Amino acid sequence: MNEEKVSCKEVMSHICESLSEEMDSPKCVAIKDHIENCEGCKSYFSSVEMTIDLYKKCTETLPEDVHKKLMAFLELTDEK
Amino acid sequence: MNEEQLIASAKNGDKKALAELVKKYEQTVYSFAFKVCRDREKAENMMQETFYSMIKSLHQFDGNSKLSTWLYRIVVNHCLMEARKSSRYTFVEQETDESLFDEKYIADWSTLPIKNLETKELRNILDAAIEKLQPEYRVVFTLRDVEEYSTEETAKMLELSVPAVKSRLHRARSFLRNEITKAFQE
């Protein structure tokens, strides 16, 4: 999992894949052209991107005590 | 020992190898469970159940898929069972595309104070949005967009068709996005 900003190409690929289209298909090219020229869609597009990004950032690190409880629950020794 | 050797040793009852495998994947499993259920205690329980199931069924693991993929399948099942106990979802499959993709939600996010928001506030907004999303949609969104599995891999893990994964992903993204927009517009 990487937390870097995704490129437009990746996002396009994501959108076209969701539509079952190849990147260079007429529909995919038409969508790309539309997004480039439509403020509403551009805004919608970037907000979906941001939603994914926000969700990725809200991660949870495993606390040490939870790790210890897991090992005890599984009856495993915690050797380093 | 590499992973293949660890699995072989663990299958032969080597507890040290088993502990190594658990340690290797505990963060991944915990993190995934937390993303789906947004609750530390539940995530901890899901993780314990997942590794308990792994130990019980490791002899059935044939190595045709990655161990991580196999573990995701187990944790997904536990998370879905747990999440279905709750009935607070407002996003249902019957919700129409027209209501999901309504133009009133096409707000310009560059004007929303997202960047100034403290992590805790942002978490509360995300928790509230995720809480309303049906678990079947949560897992698709998390596997596909957060863990970055392909549509085909996600479909295989969830025993769904590829079009079903695409449709759920599309709707989950739009629903979450709309919920975040609403939270800022209130």
**Same domain membership, residue B103 and residue B173:** yes
| Residue B90 included in any domain | no
Nearest CB to B177: which of A51, A70, A71?
A: A51
Q: Give the count of domains, chain B.
A: 2
Residue B129, pLDDT score: 84
Task: Report the chain A residue with the minimal C-alpha distance to residue B105.
Answer: A44
Between residues B14 and A11, the one the model is more confident about: B14
B145 contacts A55? CB cut-off 8 A: yes
Domain termination residue (choose one: B83, B110, B130) = B83
**Distance between CA atoms of residues B159 and B14, nearest Å:** 32
Domain-located, residue B89: no
Phi, psi of A58 (to 5 degrees): -80, 70
B35 to A55: CB separation less than 8 angstroms, yes or no: yes
CATH number of the domain that B78 lies in? 1.10.1740.10
pLDDT at residue number B54: 95
Structure confidence at residue A6 as a pLDDT band (50, 70, 90): low
Alpha carbon distance B66, A16 (integer Å): 27
Please say which residue of B59, B83, B107 terminates a domain. Answer: B83
Q: Tell me the mean pLDDT per 10 residues along chain B, length 186.
A: 92 94 96 87 94 94 89 91 68 56 58 63 79 86 88 90 88 84 74
**B74 lies in which domain range?**
3-83
Q: For chain B, what's the residue count?
A: 186
Report the complex ipTM.
0.79
| Amino acid at the residue B60 | Q
User: Is the pLDDT reported for residue A67 higher than 90?
Assistant: yes
**Would you say residue B130 lies in a domain?**
yes
- Chain B positions touching A41 (Cβ under 8 A) are 106
* Residues A14, A11: Cα–Cα separation, whole Å: 5
Please tell me the distance from the alpha carbon of residue A43 to that of residue B75, in angstroms, as a whole number: 35
